[in-house]
Amino acid sequence: MKELDATEVAARLAADDGAAVLLDVREAWELDVASVAGAVHIPMNSVPSRVRELDPGKPLIVMCHHGARSRQVAQWLTGQGFSDIANFDGGIDAWSRLIDASIPRY
């Protein structure tokens, strides 16, 4: 599993032209506060029951608020056979600070 910072995530999402999936594992209330356009939302606790919604053949970047929950989900997905997986270290908080200041911090 790779660890990517906000700059690396932004570059990869731009360069991949839709190939990489940004998976947001935060709770719905967190998405109401701040979100990244185009991210797929599956709350952390729902990932095991909804894993079939994800393509194990596609690059996947997992994000949360700071990177702890997403790291756990990325590790779990790796164990389920996902091979191209990255944790977004810093999460939406880093995205707000470094990439898009219009996204609120919480």
Length of the chain: 106
Active site residue 78: no
Per-residue DSSP letter, 98: I
d(CA 67, CA 88): 6
Q: Which member of 60, 64, 74, 86 is catalytic? A: 64
d(CA 70, CA 26): 8
Alpha carbon of residue 24 to chain centroid = 4
Which amino acids are annotated catalytic? 64
